[in-house]
Amino acid sequence: MSTFEYAPAPESRAILDLRASYGLFINGQFVSGNGTPFKTISPATEEVLAEISEANAADVDAAVRAARTAYTRVWSKLSGADRGKYLYRIARILQERSREFAVLETLDNGKPIKESRDVDVPVAAAHFFYHAGWADKLEYAVHGANPRPYGVVGQVIPWNFPLLMLSWKIAPALAAGNTVVLKPAETTPLTALLFAEVCQQADLPPGVVNIITGAGATGAALVEHPGIDKIAFTGSTGVGKAIARSIAGTRKKATLELGGKAANIIFDDAPIDQAIEGIINGIFFNQGHVCCAGSRLLVQESIADEVDARLKRRLKHLRLGDPLDKNTDVGAINSGAQLARITELVAAGEAEGAQRWDTGCPLPEKGFWFRPTVFTGVSQTHRIAQEEIFGPVVSVLTFRTPQEAVAKANNTPYGLSAGIWTEKGSRILWMADQLRAGVVWANTFNRFDPASPFGGYKESGYGREGGRQGLAGYIVTGKSA
């Protein structure tokens, strides 16, 4: 061996106790669904992992009724301190079983094990720890007297961070005293179902957490169910608009965390080596399946060539392949449908005249894969600068002045996140004030902390998750009705 070739270092699957089929988790028990079962596969190999029940309208109704009964009879009668004990217990079990969750998440989602191990699972546990602490302090968390829960919350989450999005939804809802019916995405149901086992292990009262599986129809049945008091949704802007329409005129409240087309802005005085890492983290973390991904790279024109050369040199060290290998940096695209969407938008980028470059790395024969891709010569008019690609594709644009950077960054229907790279502190503060984005990172990107609120402006949704602001979305204040 003349060069440093890293030998395969796969994480073992032996820790998993995967069942052949999974039912719905309703009222503390796994029950068969009445819909048409479907299969969940590993996107890296297309191997069938398990058969999953589909919840039809009757199953959704059973789950909502279980949640209502649990709310009325048990959960709303517990003290905050007692609710907190359950949340602490869940958090500790997540930590104890972290390797199991990480392997399962990587298998079902396709993301690299180093990310599920170092980000998804620990941050999910952190959300439960954080919200456990608020459970008996709600009057200090929000403005207004008499803080209390909504009741039964319907939650629909996406496939990009299955367990982490579950924790963002369930932890604050339970801390505030709500019960939940949660639907994971149809391509990534397994960690949610493993979480159902954790609820059993933690002796969580039956019906406080219900997990129903299925696709869009199941989600629609949940959203439209009259027994739901509040909807929390993370996913595409298209579905978010449909939800907002469907609940218009009802008593239901909603928080929606939708798409994004974030600008990651690199000034000529940026700490260049760290900025390159931040660009990569911004768009290639989780294969770019990140709503707040830094998919539009805005580079000051005076350093555009240098950034281009450094970025491409660095990208050649990204290791794409088996997501379970501990040295893999870029995993599989989550589904064939998503791969088709990425492929279509990339073709549109080329057709519109942007210059496409990719790492040229070999791709595995089976499964869904896309090479890390950089488009240069992109203008705001191009589809790849406007539409969310949700894949490992970055569109590079240039700017000349801070004002122009702000104008371009804000010139999008979205407003979820933004990044600023400069050594000049005053400019960071000025930019953060001007950017219409819910999260602005300075000299870093894609950092998540349970204490920090996350959410969007404009078509990126409304409501916040995390921190006191996120908790407030699950709390009613003022005089009781």
Partner 1 sequence: MSSAPIDTAVDATARARDFLGVTRLTNSALRGWLHGLPGVDHVGCDARAGDLGTRSIKNDAKLWAIDLAISMIDLTTLEGSDTAGKVRGLCAKALTPDASDLSTPRPAAVCVYGDMVPVAREALGTDSGVGIAAVATAFPSGRASMAVKLADTREAVAASANEIDMVIDRGAFLAGDYLTVFHQIADVKQACGPARLKVIMETGELVTYDNVRRASWLSMLAGGDFIKTSTGKVAPAATLPVTIVMLEAVRDWFALTGEMVGVKPAGGIRTSKEAIKFLVAVNEVAGEEWLDNKWFRFGASSLLNDLVLQRQRMKLGFYSGADYVTDDAPSLY
N- to C-terminal Cα distance for the chain?
Answer: 74
Q: What single-letter DSSP state applies at residue 7?
A: P
User: Which residues, listed in sequence order, are joined to residue 429 by a DSSP beta bridge?
Assistant: none
What's the rounded Cα separation, in Å, for the pair 404 and 429?
A: 16
DSSP class per residue in 165-203 = HHHHHHHHHHHHT-EEEEE--TT--HHHHHHHHHHHHTT
Residue 291: active-site member: yes
Chain-centroid distance of CA 334 in Å reads: 13
> Which of residues 4 and 140 has its CB atom nearest to partner 1 in the complex?
4
Q: Which is nearer to partner 1, 12 or 381 (CB)?
A: 12
Instruction: Please answer whether residues 253 and 422 qualify as being in contact, where contact means their C-beta atoms are separated by less than 8 angstroms.
Output: no
Total residue length of the chain: 481
User: In sequence order, what are the residues at sequence separation of 6 or more whose Cβ sits closer than 8 angstroms to the Cβ of residue 56?
Assistant: 33, 34, 35, 214, 217, 218, 221
Segment contacting partner 1 (CB under 8 A): 7-15, 192-200, 291-299, 359-367?
7-15
Residue 269 binds partner 1 (CB under 8 A): yes
Interaction mask 439-478, partner 1, x per CB under 8 A: ----xx----------------------------------
At its nearest, how many Å lie between partner 1 and the CB of residue 189?
Answer: 28
- Region 78-117 residues binding partner 1, contact defined as CB under 8 A: 114
317 contributes a contact to partner 1 by CB under 8 A = yes
The residue among 264 and 412 lying less far from partner 1, judged by its C-beta, is 264
The binder of partner 1 chosen from 137, 326, 356, 436 (CB under 8 A):
326
State yes or no: residue 301 binds partner 1 (CB under 8 A): no
State the minimum distance, in angstroms, from the CB of residue 412 to partner 1: 26
* 14 touches partner 1 by CB under 8 A: no
Query: Which of 250, 274, 302, 343 touches partner 1 by CB under 8 A?
Result: 274
Determine if 4 is a binding residue for partner 1 (CB under 8 A). Answer: yes
Binding track, positions 337-356, relative to partner 1; x by CB under 8 A: --------------------
Edge-to-edge strand list for the sheet holding 230-234: 29-31, 24-26, 209-211, 179-183, 152-156, 230-234, 253-257, 461-462
- Sorted by sequence, the CB contacts under 8 Å of residue 92 that are 6+ apart come out as none
User: Which C-beta is closer to partner 1: that of 340 or that of 451?
Assistant: 451
Task: Name residues contacting partner 1, limited to 397-426 (CB under 8 A).
Answer: 423
How far apart CA 403 and CA 334 sit, in angstroms, is 37
Cα four-point dihedral sign 100, 106, 107, 109: positive
Per-residue interface string for the shown chain with partner 1, residues 143-172, x marking contact by CB under 8 A: ------------------------------
- For partner 1, give the closer residue by CB, 9 or 429: 9
276, containing H or E segment: helix 272-284
Q: Is 183 in the site for partner 1 (CB under 8 A)?
A: no
DSSP-assigned beta bridge partners for residue 35: none
The one-letter code for the residue type at 78 is: L
Which CB sits closer to partner 1, 1 or 20?
1
Among 46, 47, 82, 273, binds partner 1 (CB under 8 A): 273
Residue 21: beta bridge partners? 51
Mark out the alpha helices in 74-215 (DSSP H runs): 80-96, 98-109, 113-115, 121-134, 138-141, 162-176, 190-201
Residue 21, both tokens = 């089929």
The residue annotated as part of the active site, out of 11, 105, 291, 465, is 291
Segment contacting partner 1 (CB under 8 A): 2-10, 101-109, 398-406, 468-476?
Answer: 2-10
Q: Alpha-carbon Rg of the chain, whole angstroms?
A: 22
- Out of 11, 186, 257, 387, the active site residue is 257
Binder among 147, 278, 463, 467 for partner 1 (CB under 8 A): 278
Within 207-236, the residues that bind partner 1 by CB under 8 A are: none
Query: Does residue 3 interact with partner 1 by CB under 8 A?
Result: yes
**Residue 24: closest CA among 13, 38, 12, 43:** 38
Among 7, 20, 248, 481, binds partner 1 (CB under 8 A): 7
Residue 199 annotated to the active site? no
Residues that bind partner 1 (CB under 8 A): 1, 3-9, 114, 118, 269-274, 277-278, 317, 326-327, 423, 443-444
Q: Which residues are catalytic?
A: 257, 291
